[in-house]
Amino acid sequence: MLFCDNSDDYVKNELSKYLKNIKDLNGNTIDFNSLSKKEQGFIIEFLKQPLEDVNVYCKGAYISDIKIDSSDTFYIQADIHTIDGKNLSSAANFIPKNKLDYKKYDLLNFEDFDRDYKFLFTTEKNLSTEERKDFLNKIQNSDFKDLENLDAFVNISLFQVSDDGTASSFFPTYFKNNLKLDYAKAAENVKKLDKDKKGTTNSSDPTLLKILWNNIKADLEKLKDFNKLKLEEESAFMQQNKDHSTLLKDLLK
């Protein structure tokens, strides 16, 4: 249960809420639809990750305090709340490939593609915006071997957003997960989460209950009709067998 995928409805509903609550670093609300398709793709990629990657964040993670800064690179940060009760600091930088001239990325020389690098981390440390940006700079300027022992989840990939805003990680460059979640507490809270969901359904508003009851009644009517048809078929079958039995006895006389 702990590592079961979040439902598609959960991911979609959470995303729709988050996209209405994006701010700049000064706390001003950002209209998601006013951003370019590329910027929208960056945001969706960042927000989907903790909702879909249950192997890292477990089931039921949610996000708050989403802020962006596009003054230089495209920077985004948020707090991630996991099912074990932890509050994590997360941030990502999306940097155009033509602005990144690091020797360690020479093997990813796709000249004919318009790509961006995604540098992302999540840590248990409570970091300010400046500390998060410093953390990202450290990741961007470190050799891979120096990232192994960071107390964080780190993901680096070559990334593309198409004209329609859809995004894909074209080439995963580096991945390391050093987050230490409390799995015992997480498993306990997942059970509570499932109970809460059942409780929410049972205590739904009258309109929803009426819809549910109408559906149940429709199913009961179908079952009633089915049983009636079944009895009629059984009766016809028995009568047919009775007729065949009588015919057979007459022939044997």
pLDDT average, residue stretch 218-235: 56
Asked if 43 and 91 sit in the same domain, the reply is yes
Amino acid letter at 110? F
Asked if 105 and 53 sit in the same domain, the reply is yes
Indicate whether this model's pTM tops 0.95. Answer: no
21-25, 71-75, 224-228: least confidently modelled range: 224-228
Selection from 69, 66, 31 nearest residue 48 by Cα = 66
Cα angle value 41/85/177 (rounded, 5°): 55
Q: Which two tokens stand for residue 34?
A: 């006013």
Asked if 132 and 169 sit in the same domain, the reply is yes
The pLDDT of residue 171: 76
> What dihedral do alpha carbons 49, 53, 59, 60 form, nearest 10°?
0
Asked if 158 and 239 sit in the same domain, the reply is no
Over the stretch 71-109, which tens digit does the pLDDT of each residue have?
Answer: 989 999 999 999 999 999 999 999 887 777 655 655 555
Asked if 23 and 70 sit in the same domain, the reply is yes
Asked if 144 and 55 sit in the same domain, the reply is yes
Domain count, the chain: 2
123, burial (CB in 10 Å: exposed 0-12, middle 13-18, buried 19+): buried
Q: Cα 50 vs. chain centroid, distance in angstroms? A: 6
| Burial annotation 163-190 (CB, 10 A radius, 16+ → b, else e) | eebebeebbebeebeebebeeeebbebb
* Residue numbers of the domain that contains 223: 204-252
